[in-house]
């Protein structure tokens, strides 16, 4: 191939496209280098000259940038030759701007200035090879002004070294030009080869298209023959399908009738007829295998009130949602049936241990105690459960169902929202409840209760800044009882109110003592039970406790669970606002488990959100929990609330929460709940040690 002939129009267009494709990065680089060079030589050269040169450089770069933008928007408006000429002209201006840098060497005797300018010019000339080699006129328009300016300045200096450098500059420019010319040849050759290959591909494609057309003609003839056969086949097939459809419709109708006879139309659960059949089959199987089975009789609490107040359509929607929740927590082998109204029966086969039944009953209670959303309304229902066992409580379906029903009514009588096993005597759980109730009344009077404290750590400073008060019971016979053992009894019997008041006063009194002795703790947190908040004298009782103990309101933080505050929002918000106006801090505990409405949440007079421990425990393994925690922190900060994470047990959890911006952490990573004397030592030692570590070390002078 000969390269001294003008390139074809296609080759020229490709060369121009390469120039404009490389132009924008080159422009940004030139602008950046010119600015950096001006900054570095600011103290070496006259400021006015640097500013004038920099403005000239930036104007030339802006001109070329404008040309690149115009080319991208209206490339087809002018032929490639025109765009090439414009680019060469803009590049010449940039080259002249660079070349005008060399006369600045004559204004300074500083060797550093000469060295820097010399290197910059050499660098810009060398960079022109990959950027402008696609089109030699653009290359020479950029390189020659710089080289000539540089050589002229070196000759003017008229020293031995400057003359040698001028000769070296000319030689270097020649080598760069030769390299650029070789690269231009390679680029042109690549474009021409690509064009030639594309021509061959087009020829082959044309031949393939011709052969394909001939083949398609043959295929059309064959297809016509096949269509005739297929039409006859379809006629026979349609006749057969019509007969099969009629048979299928009849079978489906029979199946639907059978399903309707054995299932409830509202919930699609088995009805009493199918339940009896499955129970008899299960009893026969259990008798043969000598195994046990359990029958759970469920009745929704206050369902009649919901039906009467919100309408039967809402009641039907509620029953359907209850069905879905029951199906979500039961095994595939279990049978759930609806007897009618709000009564459900769960047949549990293959029972290994009574603990499995208790676990399932508790899961049902927990699931049905969660809020239902129907037609934009929040509905809360409970559930009373009665349990009978085969063979202990009967050997027939009728007997087991009757005894489970009796056990359910016992649950209703005892306060609802619980479960009972059928037995002629008190069950172990009921006996324990009554025993604990009597002992708890005496415990409050005989000072058997004590308050433990768990530290709350500031994740930003590393110091312990708060404590949560947690009640413990030193039972004379059973030892230390955790709250989960006796607080449900206190809630049921109403003892939670005097118990809560006792804990509040004890914590306030202890906080006053700690403030007197200088323990560096800002607040003590105390949990408020639902029955305490429902009382009309809540604000008065809190104020009385503060006055009696001498505790300042700002030292006290009251925690309310999210589930309760959302269910009692309108009744509780006024009381909580009065407490906040007194100076008492307020926090929502177990946040993330109560389905808070954001429109209500922003109205609450709260200071903190406490992330429930269930979301913190699996941060390292559960992406859903990590996303929930991140969302809660972001939500709290958007509402200008502090965030406290409960259940922090590992350094990974602490670091993750700190990175999210969570303000405080609480959990076994720092300490388990401790008596007041031990927690005081823990807080003092930790904060002193942290203060010593955070103070800078002062070295003595030599």
Q: Say how many CA atoms lie within 13 Å of 610 toward its Cβ.
A: 25
Confidence (pLDDT) at 469 = 94
Confidence (pLDDT) at 252 = 76
Residue 107 DSSP label: G
Q: Residue 4: pLDDT band by 50, 70, 90 thresholds?
A: low
| Residues 258/263/267/269 CA torsion (nearest 10 deg) | -120
Map tokens 């109403």 to a residue. 494
Distances (CA, A) of 451 to 323, 470, 667, 679: 42, 6, 17, 11
Confidence (pLDDT) at 456 = 95
Asked if pLDDT for residue 624 goes beyond 80, the answer is: yes
Map tokens 């009640």 to a residue. 471
Query: From its phi and psi, is residue 529 left (phi > 0), alpha (psi between -120 and 50) or beta?
Result: beta
Asked if pLDDT for residue 701 goes beyond 60, the answer is: no
Confidence (pLDDT) at 669 = 93
Asked if pLDDT for residue 600 goes beyond 70, the answer is: no
pLDDT in tens, 333-366: 889 999 888 999 999 988 888 888 888 999 999 9
Confidence (pLDDT) at 235 = 82
Asked if pLDDT for residue 697 goes beyond 50, the answer is: no
pLDDT, mean over the chain:
84
Q: Would you say 701 and 496 are in contact if contact means Cβ atoms under 8 Å apart?
A: no
Asked if pLDDT for residue 645 goes beyond 90, the answer is: yes
Question: What is the C-alpha to C-alpha distance for residues 260 and 270, in angstroms, rounded to an integer?
Answer: 9
Beta-carbon contacts of 641 under 8 Å, excluding residues fewer than 6 positions away, are 606, 607, 608, 609
Confidence (pLDDT) at 330 = 87
Confidence (pLDDT) at 653 = 93
108-141 CB burial, b ≥16 within 10 A, e <16:
beeeebbebbbebbbebbebbbebbbbbbebbbb
pLDDT in tens, 577-589: 888 999 999 998 8
Confidence (pLDDT) at 218 = 80
Taking residues 666-693, report their average pLDDT: 91
Q: Residue 222: pLDDT band by 50, 70, 90 thresholds?
A: confident
pLDDT in tens, 165-180: 888 888 888 888 888 7
Taking residues 626-650, report their average pLDDT: 91
Confidence (pLDDT) at 127 = 80
Asked if pLDDT for residue 291 goes beyond 80, the answer is: yes
Beta-carbon contacts of 384 under 8 Å, excluding residues fewer than 6 positions away, are 298, 299, 301, 408, 411, 412, 416, 417, 418, 419
Report the DSSP beta bridge partners of residue 587: 559, 608
Q: Residue 644: pLDDT band by 50, 70, 90 thresholds?
A: very high
**Considering the chain, what percentage of its residues have pLDDT values greater than 90?**
28
Neighbours of 350 (CB within 10 A): 16
Asked if pLDDT for residue 318 goes beyond 80, the answer is: yes
Taking residues 593-621, report their average pLDDT: 77
Q: Say how many CA atoms lie within 13 Å of 626 toward its Cβ.
A: 13
Q: Residue 540: pLDDT band by 50, 70, 90 thresholds?
A: very high
Confidence (pLDDT) at 570 = 59
Tell me the two tokens of residue 416.
Answer: 């609802």
Choose the weakest-confidence range: 410-414, 427-431, 489-493: 427-431
Q: Residue 425: pLDDT band by 50, 70, 90 thresholds?
A: low
Q: Is the dihedral of CA 315, 321, 322, 327 positive or negative?
A: positive
Confidence (pLDDT) at 594 = 54
Q: Would you say 387 and 419 are in contact if contact means Cβ atoms under 8 Å apart?
A: yes
Tell me the two tokens of residue 81.
Answer: 């030759």
Asked if pLDDT for residue 633 goes beyond 60, the answer is: yes
pLDDT in tens, 492-529: 677 888 888 999 999 999 999 999 999 999 999 999 88
φ/ψ of residue 453, rounded to 5: -135, 140
Beta-carbon contacts of 263 under 8 Å, excluding residues fewer than 6 positions away, are 269, 270, 271, 274
Tell me the two tokens of residue 404.
Answer: 């489970």
Choose the weakest-confidence range: 9-13, 232-236, 412-416, 536-540: 9-13
Q: Would you say 313 and 426 are in contact if contact means Cβ atoms under 8 Å apart?
A: no
Taking residues 122-126, report their average pLDDT: 82
Asked if pLDDT for residue 91 goes beyond 90, the answer is: no
Confidence (pLDDT) at 427 = 42
Choose the weakest-confidence range: 276-285, 600-609, 688-697: 688-697
More confident residue, 10 or 216: 216
């Amino acid at each position: 191939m000969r390269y001294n002939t003008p390139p074809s129009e296609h080759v020229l267009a490709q060369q121009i496209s390469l120039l404009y494709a490389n132009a924008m990065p080159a422009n940004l680089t030139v602008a950046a280098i010119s600015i950096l060079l001006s900054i570095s030589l600011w103290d070496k050269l006259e400021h006015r000259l640097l500013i004038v040169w920099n403005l000239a450089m930036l104007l030339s770069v802006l001109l070329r940038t404008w040309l690149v933008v115009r080319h991208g928007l209206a490339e087809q408006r002018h032929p490639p030759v025109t765009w090439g000429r414009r680019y060469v002209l803009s590049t010449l201006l940039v080259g002249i701007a660079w070349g005008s840098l060399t006369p600045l060497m004559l204004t300074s005797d500083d060797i550093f200035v000469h060295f820097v300018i010399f290197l910059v010019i050499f660098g810009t000339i060398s960079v022109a090879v990959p950027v402008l080699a696609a089109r030699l006129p653009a290359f020479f328009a950029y390189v020659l002004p710089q080289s000539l300016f540089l050589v002229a300045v070196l000759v003017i200096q008229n020293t031995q070294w400057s003359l040698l450098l001028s000769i070296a500059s000319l030689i270097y420019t020649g080598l760069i030009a030769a390299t650029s010319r070789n690269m231009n040849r390679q680029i042109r050759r690549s474009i021409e080869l690509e064009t030639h290959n594309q021509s061959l591909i087009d020829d082959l494609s044309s031949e393939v298209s011709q052969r394909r057309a001939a083949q398609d003609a043959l295929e059309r003839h064959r297809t016509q023959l096949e269509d005739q056969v297929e039409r006859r086949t379809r006629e026979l097939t349609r006749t057969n399908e019509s007969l099969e459809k009629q048979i299928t419709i009849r079978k489906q109708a029979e199946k639907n009738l059978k399903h309707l006879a054995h299932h409830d139309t509202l919930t699609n659960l088995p009805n009493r007829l199918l339940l009896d059949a499955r129970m008899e089959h299960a009893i026969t199987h259990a008798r043969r295998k000598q195994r046990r089975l359990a029958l759970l009789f469920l009745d929704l609490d206050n369902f009649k009130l919901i039906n009467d107040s919100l309408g039967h359509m809402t009641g039907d929607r509620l029953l359907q949602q209850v069905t879905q929740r029951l199906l979500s927590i039961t095994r595939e082998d279990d049978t759930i049936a609806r007897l009618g109204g709000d009564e459900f029966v769960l047949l549990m086969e293959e029972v290994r241990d009574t603990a499995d039944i208790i676990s399932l009953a508790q899961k049902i209670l927990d699931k049905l105690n969660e809020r239902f959303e129907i037609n934009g309304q929040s509905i809360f229902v409970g559930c009373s459960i009665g349990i009978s066992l085969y063979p202990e409580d009967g050997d027939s379906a009728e007997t087991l169902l009757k005894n489970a029903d009796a056990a359910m009514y016992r649950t209703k009588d005892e306060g609802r929202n619980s479960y009972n096993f059928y037995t002629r005597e008190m069950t172990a759980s009921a006996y324990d409840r009554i025993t604990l109730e009597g002992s708890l009344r005496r415990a409050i009077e005989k000072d058997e209760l004590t308050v433990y404290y768990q530290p709350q750590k500031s994740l930003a400073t590393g110091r312990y800044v708060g404590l949560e008060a947690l009640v413990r019971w030193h039972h004379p016979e059973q030892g230390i009882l955790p709250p989960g053992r006796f607080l449900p009894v206190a809630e049921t019997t109403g003892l939670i109110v005097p118990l809560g008041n006792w804990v509040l006063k004890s914590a306030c009194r202890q906080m006053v003592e700690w403030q007197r002795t200088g323990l560096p703790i800002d607040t003590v947190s105390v949990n408020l039970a639902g029955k305490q908040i429902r009382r009309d004298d809540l604000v008065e009782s809190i104020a009385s406790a503060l006055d009696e103990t001498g505790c300042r309101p700002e030292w006290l933080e009251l925690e309310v669970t999210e589930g309760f505050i959302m269910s009692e929002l309108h009744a509780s918000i006024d009381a909580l606002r009065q407490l906040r106006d007194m100076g008492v801090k307020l926090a929502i505990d177990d946040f993330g488990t109560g389905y808070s409405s954001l429109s209500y949440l922003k109205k609450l007079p709260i200071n903190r959100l406490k992330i429930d421990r269930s979301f913190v425990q699996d941060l390292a393994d559960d992406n859903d929990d990590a996303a929930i925690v991140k969302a809660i922190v972001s939500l709290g900060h958007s509402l200008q609330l502090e965030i406290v994470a409960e259940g922090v047990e590992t350094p990974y959890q602490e670091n993750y929460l700190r990175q999210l911006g969570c303000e405080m952490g609480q959990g076994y990573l720092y300490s388990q709940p401790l008596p007041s004397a031990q927690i005081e030592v823990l807080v003092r030692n930790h904060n002193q040690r942290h203060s010593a570590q955070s103070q800078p070390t002062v070295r003595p002078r030599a």
